[in-house]
Structure 1
Amino acid sequence: MKFPSATRLCVLGKVSAAEMLSAVRQIMDSLKLAINDDKTRCLRCPEEALEFLGYRIGRNYRPQGGGAYIGTKPSKASVQSICRKISAQTAAKYGLVSSEDMVRRLNRMLSGWANYYHLGQVNPAYAAVDAHTTKRLRQWLCRKHKVKIGKYARYPSERLWGHYGLIRLEPMTKGLPWAKT
């Protein structure tokens, strides 16, 4: 039986790293699975943050200064990745696409990304993605309609969200528990 080479495993516990690693090796040996020693590492959480499956697991701080806790949030790489995809989607070569189709494409990308990254402290990541999306859609609309002056007056964020129907990620967090890890 062949397993995918991209299988990932993260083990957290309170015993020493050597004990945990030997226990994992025993389990993996009994399953006849190999451990890639180049990709295996031991670290102390929360002193060192761990990036795993697009999330950063480590020490987070409460926004109102209530202290620190160990939790998750979308990694910077995952936020940069969705922003690159949004930039590619709103490139000049898509100038002939209708505004409704462009917003529909962006909404599908945003909702899919937000459905995956909804655990932990997501507000800063959602705000960054929202800001990037509104900026790129505004630029795309200005290129499409050849607007050079008054970009914010002609395409304010409220119009992009209301008239065009671009979804906002940041208000989606109001109904979520603050830390769901």
Structure 2
Amino acid sequence: MGLRLSPDKTLITHIDEGLVFLGWHIQRRRKRGTNRYYVYTYPSRKALKAVMAKVKALCRTTGTHLPLDTLLLRLNPMLRGWCNFFRPGVSSATFQYLSSYVWKRVIKWIRRKHRRTSWKELRRRYGGGQWWLASQNRQLFDPGR
């Protein structure tokens, strides 16, 4: 057939070093508490940075004159899709990190929207007295749950 392997696209490595394939970091590691080794799949750092960049861009480009619902309508489907793609792997630590990052970004957006409002008032208005953000119609998707 005349096919050749491209050195730029071909990676020959040991499984203990790991490799990145389709956004997954695949690596063999020792299971904690035992001496047995298993192959684990994690979301790659590049995939995590990409979704974090999208969250950051959405929070920056959504105007503060718009309601929180507008931001959540754009943010939630993207986060839900990313998390559904990486759900089968060992992803809970990554999801917790992403959850924290998204919450901080949306809080930053709300603080820009209401510059002189206290934390107590913002929490009452956008969290219903709780810390997780929600509007009248929808709640911020929590990747960590």
Is 1:160 equivalent to 2:122 in the alignment? Answer: no
Distance 2:120 2:98 in 1: 20
Tell me if the contact between 1:161 and 1:167 (Cα under 8 Å) persists in the aligned partners.
no
Distance 2:5 2:64 in 1: 48
Is 1:140 equivalent to 2:128 in the alignment? Answer: no
Is 1:53 equivalent to 2:22 in the alignment? Answer: yes
Q: State the one-letter code of the partner of 2:33.
A: G
Partner in structure 2 of residue 119 of structure 1 = 88
Q: Which runs of 4+ in 1 moved over 6 A?
A: none
Distance 1:40 1:83 in 2: 28
Partner in structure 2 of residue 41 of structure 1 = 11
Tell me which of 56, 77, 89 is aligned to 1:108.
77
Name the SS of the counterpart of 2:133 in structure 1: helix
Partner in structure 2 of residue 169 of structure 1 = 143
1:124-179 deviations in Å (ceiling 9; x for gaps): 110011000000001101111224643796356634058650111122xxxxxxxx
The two structures, once aligned, show a CA RMSD in angstroms of: 2.6
Distance 1:160 1:61 in 2: 38
Structure 1 residues 150 and 36, CA gap change in structure 2 (3 angstroms): same
Name the SS of the counterpart of 1:71 in structure 2: strand
Tell me if the contact between 1:60 and 1:72 (Cα under 8 Å) persists in the aligned partners.
no
Aligned-pair identity in percent equals: 28
TM-score by length of 2: 0.80
Q: State the one-letter code of the partner of 1:142.
A: R
- Larger radius of gyration, structure 1 or 2? 1
Name the SS of the counterpart of 1:158 in structure 2: coil
CA shift at 1:34, angstroms?
3.8
TM-score by length of 1: 0.65
